[in-house]
Structure 1
C-alpha cells in the first residue's frame, strides 16, 4: 500500500481546480487524486519518471498528463490554492540542519 501525502482537507481544496470533472470536454480523468499523489511522490523522492511505482500507473502516461497540466497552468492554480494553507511547517527547512560547504561560511584561508 502506498503512503498518501494529501490530507482530505487539502484534496477538497484543489479537487475543483483539476481537469477531468463531469462536464469537462474530452475524456474525464479516472483518478485525479492518485495522479496528484504520484506527482507528489516523484517530487518528494526526487526519483526519475521511470521509477514511478506501478501502483500509481504507467510512468509515461503520468508524465504526459503532468506535462499537459503544466502547460495548461493547472499546477500554478493548485499551488496558489494551497498557499493559503495555515500549516507551513512542512514547507520550511530549518537551516540548523542544512549543511553548508566548508567554504560557504566565509572563513578566512590559512
Structure 2
C-alpha cells in the first residue's frame, strides 16, 4: 500500500533511545513498525481495529499506544524532539472540514432555559381544585 506511513531512519534514530529494552515475554513486534502504525492511525483517523496489517496486529498497536501513554513515553519523546531542534508548529483543521457521525451532533432545538425556583413557587396554580368533595361526586354517578 502506497499510503502507509513509515518512520524515516533519522526519525527512528531520535525515537529509538526512548524505547523499552529487554522486555519479558514472547518475541515482540518491531517497535518501529508499531510506532509507524500508531502514527498512521492518528494521522488518518481510522479506528484501531482498521489499522493495516503491515503495522502488526491492531491490538498490539493499540495496547502499545495505551501502555506508552501511561508511562509518559510520548511526553519524553516530544521533549527530546524539541531539544533536537524539531519545530513543533501546530497544525489545525477547520471544524467545517471535519466530518462527524450523525449522532455526534449537538442537541436539537438549542439550549434549554432553566426555570427559576422563584418563578415556579410564585406562579399561579395551573389547575383549580374541585369545590366538591370526592364523596359528593361519587354519589352522583
TM-score, L = length of structure 1: 0.68
Tell me, yes or no, if structure 1 residue 26 matches structure 2 residue 27. no
Matched residues in 2 for 1:39 and 1:31: separation?
A: 13
- Which residue pairs with 1:107 in the alignment? none
- Which residue pairs with 1:69 in the alignment? 68
Matched residues in 2 for 1:77 and 1:29: separation?
A: 22
- Which residue pairs with 1:53 in the alignment? 52
Please say if residues 10 and 82 of structure 1, whose CA atoms lie closer than 8 Å, have aligned partners that are also in contact: no
Q: Report how far residue 85 of structure 1 moved.
A: 4.8
- Which residue pairs with 2:15 in the alignment? 14
Aligned length: 94
Residues 1:5 and 1:61: Cα distance change in structure 2 (over 3 Å): closer
Runs of 4+ deviating beyond 4 Å:
98-101
Listed one character per residue, the Cα deviations across residues 1-57 of structure 1 (whole Å, up to 9, x for unaligned) are 4543422112101101111x3xx3424643110011001001110111011001111
Q: Structure 1: where are the runs of 5+ without partners?
A: 102-110
Greater shift in the superposed pair: 2-11 or 41-50: 2-11
Q: Report how far residue 83 of structure 1 moved.
A: 2.1
More helix by share: 1
Q: Structure 2: where are the runs of 5+ without partners?
A: 97-141
Residues 1:99 and 1:60: Cα distance change in structure 2 (over 3 Å): closer
Return the index of the structure with the highest Cα Rg: 2
Within 5 Å, give how 1:88-107 maps onto structure 2: 88=87, 91-93=89-91, 99=94
Greater shift in the superposed pair: 64-73 or 40-49: 64-73
